[in-house]
Amino acid sequence: MAYKITDECISCGACEAECKNEAISEGETIYTIDPEKCTECVGIAEASRCAEVCPIDGCCTPDPEHKETKEQLLEKWRKLHPGEEPASGTY
Ligand code: SF4
Ligand code: SF4
Protein backbone atom coordinates (compact mmCIF):
# COMPACT_ATOMS: atom_id res chain seq x y z
CA MET A 1 0.00 0.00 0.00
CA ALA A 2 1.52 3.30 -1.03
CA TYR A 3 1.86 5.93 1.65
CA LYS A 4 0.33 9.38 1.52
CA ILE A 5 1.04 12.65 3.29
CA THR A 6 -1.82 14.33 5.11
CA ASP A 7 -2.71 18.02 5.40
CA GLU A 8 -0.91 18.13 8.75
CA CYS A 9 2.40 18.33 6.85
CA ILE A 10 4.44 21.39 7.87
CA SER A 11 6.68 21.15 4.77
CA CYS A 12 9.86 20.63 6.78
CA GLY A 13 11.32 18.52 3.96
CA ALA A 14 12.82 15.85 6.23
CA CYS A 15 11.11 12.99 4.42
CA GLU A 16 12.20 13.82 0.88
CA ALA A 17 15.85 12.76 1.16
CA GLU A 18 14.89 9.60 3.05
CA CYS A 19 12.89 8.15 0.18
CA LYS A 20 15.29 6.15 -1.98
CA ASN A 21 12.53 5.71 -4.56
CA GLU A 22 12.36 9.49 -5.06
CA ALA A 23 8.61 9.23 -4.49
CA ILE A 24 8.37 12.37 -2.35
CA SER A 25 8.34 15.90 -3.68
CA GLU A 26 7.35 19.35 -2.52
CA GLY A 27 3.86 20.33 -3.58
CA GLU A 28 2.16 23.70 -3.59
CA THR A 29 1.11 23.53 0.05
CA ILE A 30 2.38 20.22 1.43
CA TYR A 31 4.81 17.48 0.40
CA THR A 32 3.32 14.68 -1.67
CA ILE A 33 4.03 11.02 -2.39
CA ASP A 34 3.78 9.55 -5.91
CA PRO A 35 1.93 6.24 -5.45
CA GLU A 36 3.59 4.92 -8.61
CA LYS A 37 6.96 5.14 -6.83
CA CYS A 38 6.15 4.42 -3.17
CA THR A 39 6.84 0.78 -2.24
CA GLU A 40 6.06 1.24 1.47
CA CYS A 41 9.87 0.98 1.69
CA VAL A 42 9.82 -2.62 0.46
CA GLY A 43 13.30 -3.10 -1.04
CA ILE A 44 14.70 -0.18 0.96
CA ALA A 45 14.15 -0.47 4.70
CA GLU A 46 12.31 -2.55 7.28
CA ALA A 47 9.90 0.28 8.09
CA SER A 48 8.66 3.31 6.22
CA ARG A 49 11.45 5.88 6.38
CA CYS A 50 9.23 8.89 5.73
CA ALA A 51 6.99 8.04 8.67
CA GLU A 52 10.03 7.45 10.87
CA VAL A 53 11.62 10.84 10.24
CA CYS A 54 8.44 12.92 10.06
CA PRO A 55 8.03 15.11 13.16
CA ILE A 56 4.24 14.93 12.90
CA ASP A 57 2.69 11.68 14.11
CA GLY A 58 0.44 10.08 11.52
CA CYS A 59 1.32 12.58 8.79
CA CYS A 60 2.93 9.90 6.57
CA THR A 61 0.38 7.12 6.57
CA PRO A 62 -0.71 4.14 4.44
CA ASP A 63 -3.18 5.16 1.74
CA PRO A 64 -6.16 2.77 1.65
CA GLU A 65 -6.86 3.87 -1.91
CA HIS A 66 -3.61 2.22 -3.02
CA LYS A 67 -3.73 -1.27 -1.59
CA GLU A 68 -0.98 -3.58 -2.84
CA THR A 69 0.53 -6.89 -1.75
CA LYS A 70 4.16 -7.23 -0.68
CA GLU A 71 4.78 -9.03 -3.98
CA GLN A 72 3.35 -6.11 -5.96
CA LEU A 73 5.43 -3.64 -3.94
CA LEU A 74 8.59 -5.66 -4.57
CA GLU A 75 7.80 -5.80 -8.29
CA LYS A 76 7.35 -2.02 -8.27
CA TRP A 77 10.70 -1.63 -6.51
CA ARG A 78 12.43 -3.85 -9.09
CA LYS A 79 11.05 -1.74 -11.95
CA LEU A 80 12.34 1.41 -10.25
CA HIS A 81 15.80 -0.09 -9.62
CA PRO A 82 16.72 -2.31 -12.58
CA GLY A 83 19.81 -4.42 -11.99
CA GLU A 84 19.79 -3.83 -8.23
CA GLU A 85 18.90 -6.21 -5.43
CA PRO A 86 16.46 -5.28 -2.67
CA ALA A 87 17.89 -4.83 0.83
CA SER A 88 17.56 -8.02 2.86
CA GLY A 89 14.80 -8.14 5.42
CA THR A 90 12.75 -5.51 3.63
CA TYR A 91 10.35 -7.73 1.69
S1 SF4 B 1 7.05 4.69 2.54
FE2 SF4 B 1 9.18 4.58 1.83
S3 SF4 B 1 8.97 4.39 -0.41
FE4 SF4 B 1 7.04 5.20 0.35
S5 SF4 B 1 7.24 7.42 0.25
FE6 SF4 B 1 7.82 6.79 2.33
S7 SF4 B 1 10.06 6.62 2.21
FE8 SF4 B 1 9.28 6.58 0.10
S1 SF4 C 1 8.69 15.03 7.16
FE2 SF4 C 1 6.46 15.17 7.55
S3 SF4 C 1 6.08 17.34 7.98
FE4 SF4 C 1 8.09 17.19 7.02
S5 SF4 C 1 7.70 17.51 4.80
FE6 SF4 C 1 7.66 15.30 5.17
S7 SF4 C 1 5.50 14.81 5.56
FE8 SF4 C 1 5.73 17.03 5.80
Q: How far apart are CA 3 and CA 34, in angstroms?
A: 9
Residue 69 belongs to domain with CATH number: 3.30.70.20
Average pLDDT rounded to a whole number, residues 66-88 = 97
**What global pTM score does this model have?**
0.95
Q: Is 72 part of a structural domain of the chain?
A: yes
1: confidence class by pLDDT, cuts 50, 70, 90: confident
Average pLDDT rounded to a whole number, residues 36-48 = 97
pLDDT for the residue 48: 97
Domain span including residue 73: 3-80
User: Of 7, 25, 28, 31, which is best to mutate to test ligand 2, by the most ligand atoms within 8 angstroms of its C-beta?
Assistant: 31
Residue located nearest, by CA, to atom 4 of ligand 2: 12
